[in-house]
Chains A and B, each alone.
Chain A
Amino acid sequence: MSDPQESDSDETAPLQINGVTIEPTFAEAFDMKATRVIVTAIDAYWARQAAVAMSGFGTSVIDCKIEIDIERELTADETPDGRPGFALLGFAMSGDGLDKQIVRRCGQCVLTCPTTSLFSGMEHLRDQTDKRVALGKALRFFGDGHQISKWIEGQRYWRVPVMDGEFLCQHDAPRTDGIGGGNFLLVADSIGVALQAAKTAVDAIAPLPRVIAPFPGGVVRSGSKVGSKYKTLVASTNDAYCPTLRGIVDSKLTSDQNAVLEIVLDGLDFDSIATAIGTGVHAACEAFGQKGLLAITAGNYGGKLGRHHFKLHEILR
């Protein structure tokens, strides 16, 4: 991790990618707790239904209490039970918070979805940590005493009777440390260009492992700053990047910068997020540099809140 003050003073040479200015700043991110679960089903359609439901309303820990999204689609030969599936990554501010959200979401979105099964996606960590997130350990009680425990290859699974047969579910999943809140902002001359550039960046990031972009379509329009004039709010609109507030606040936008979109990234480690930032920014700049994408910047809080600092110039140079 680096010192943001040092970072700013070190940024001497201007950086552009395909005519897009890369601001000499950094994204500030936070320590989180993370896990990966695998949802499978009789076919990819039903696996996707469960995965989409489970990751709904999982954009920000501020009010959703978890940031969760599909990491990637899995082929049948990549899943424990040989059926099509999806890997989801979930991030929360505490282990208890993660546990509560995962159990609720698995109970309401995976257990309920026809033909699904649920597995840990962190088996490589099982012998390295005793931190766990409950899966079948909590969901089994839905079986009302008819649930069946099976020890298979050293792992405990639960078979819970449901109306389409049985819900097969691993007992728990290891949990690990993660990072939440990596980000970059795309500054464009119009919302049309900003949207296309953001989509291009998200599409480029999507295949990358160990990282998710949990907001709708991977994109945020309501970037926030800490605090508000209203005492009950912990965060409010990032007025410095709102084009409609130019002239009445200390705006960071010039007269030709008319739309800003943010991509927020959560990952299992620093390098995964840094790689995603680099991949997304390069894809957007190569496609929309000199076509209306004007600048790339990043959101931070002066480096005082999060200990993970993603310096754009270091990542992109």
Chain B
Amino acid sequence: MTRWTLTLQPHPFQRIDASTLRRSWLADKTQAQIEKSTLVADGMPVPFGDLFRILVNESETDEIIIEGDAERCDGLGALHDRGVFRVLGHVGDYAGASLRGGTLLIGGSAGHFVGAPLASRKSGMSRATIEITGDAGDYVGHRMRRGTIVIAGSAGTHLASSMVAGTIAVGSDIGHQPCIGMRRGTVFLPGASTASLFDSKLTFSAPFDYDASFLSLYQSPMMRRVLHPLIDNVVKRIRADRSVGGQGEILTISQQS
């Protein structure tokens, strides 16, 4: 197994398309070949070695570590298939897009379209786990098919839009229009102010009390931390999105509790 530590160098670009940077792409190349390969930055091909300093080590598991400010890098962890993809800081849009396996750990905030379809693909992430210690932008889990996204902070608008299945947990507030077109899946919203987003909208069922006994099965420390308010309060369950015959569920807490 291999650990690739990629340190982002100072650069003049506004956006870097890092969606090709993935384990399977790195694994069949030598360090020299990786450095000579190109990424697209602001529409231009740029040598990988000009953007990242590369360190390759043996490891017990396949692991990719991104160091430096990657806020302008889009598509980090896209199509990742196994092992750990760890970003030590913020990331741009499309983090974990069409993710297929393994774990994507983001030690900061993420942009829009976390776990959404990559480019023209139809499906968002189809397996794996994404953990974000900060906030996330709009369209988190758009067309997500399977897997788990945990966001310790807040999420933007259109959370879980057209979600097919899977699990999303958001520790704090979310933006408007969540769960539109949601077919299946679970969205945990322990943030006390989120329940009102679903009031008086006929596409969602009325909230009702619910015994979520399966919450105790989650063992990951971050998920347990995010879910903690649900475990200690009366859980309200909302079914969504009825306008598309959806069987999805939103688990939140009542505003009185």
- Identify the A interface with B (CB < 8 A): 80-83, 117, 145-146, 148-153, 155, 157, 159, 165-166, 168
A-binding segment of B31-39, B51-59, B170-178, B210-218:
B210-218
Residues B214 and A82 in contact, CB atoms below 8 Å apart: no
Residues B217 and A148 in contact, CB atoms below 8 Å apart: no
Residues A152 and B247 in contact, CB atoms below 8 Å apart: no
User: Chain A residues with Cβ under 8 A from B165's Cβ?
Assistant: 149
Interface residues of B in 145-188 (CB under 8 A from A): 146-148, 165, 167, 184, 186
Write the B206-225 contact mask toward A (1 if CB under 8 angstroms, else 0): 00001101101111100000
Residues A151 and B249 in contact, CB atoms below 8 Å apart: no
Residues B211 and A165 in contact, CB atoms below 8 Å apart: yes
User: Chain A residues with Cβ under 8 A from B217's Cβ?
Assistant: 80-81, 152-153, 155, 157
Residues A168 and B220 in contact, CB atoms below 8 Å apart: no
User: Chain A residues with Cβ under 8 A from B219's Cβ?
Assistant: 153
User: Chain A residues with Cβ under 8 A from B186's Cβ?
Assistant: 148, 150
Total cross-chain contacts (CB, 8 A): 42
Interface residues of B in 204-246 (CB under 8 A from A): 210-211, 213-214, 216-220
Residues A151 and B218 in contact, CB atoms below 8 Å apart: no
Q: Give Cα distance in the complex from A241 to B213, angstroms.
A: 52
Identify A168's interface contact among B184, B214, B249, CB under 8 A: B214
Number of interface residues of B (CB under 8 A): 18
- Identify the B interface with A (CB < 8 A): 146-148, 165, 167, 184, 186, 210-211, 213-214, 216-220, 247, 249
Q: Give Cα distance in the complex from A49 to B70, angstroms.
A: 57
Distance of A131 from chain B, by nearest CB (Å): 23
Identify A166's interface contact among B147, B213, B216, CB under 8 A: B213
Q: Give Cα distance in the complex from A168 to B214, angstroms.
A: 7
Residues A159 and B247 in contact, CB atoms below 8 Å apart: no
Can you name 24 A-B residue pairings with CB atoms under 8 Å? A80-B216, A81-B216, A81-B217, A82-B216, A83-B213, A146-B247, A149-B165, A150-B167, A150-B214, A151-B146, A151-B147, A151-B148, A152-B214, A152-B217, A152-B218, A153-B217, A153-B220, A157-B217, A159-B214, A165-B210, A165-B213, A166-B211, A166-B214, A168-B213
Distance of B219 from chain A, by nearest CB (Å): 5
Identify A157's interface contact among B184, B210, B214, B247, CB under 8 A: B214
The listed residue with most A CB atoms (<10 A of its CB), out of B147, B167, B184, B217, is: B217
Question: Who on chain A is nearest to B147 by CB?
Answer: A151
User: Chain A residues with Cβ under 8 A from B147's Cβ?
Assistant: 151
Q: Give Cα distance in the complex from A102 to B210, angstroms.
A: 29
Question: Who on chain A is nearest to B211 by CB?
Answer: A165
Question: Who on chain B is nearest to A155 by CB?
Answer: B217
User: Chain B residues with Cβ under 8 A from A150's Cβ?
Assistant: 167, 186, 214
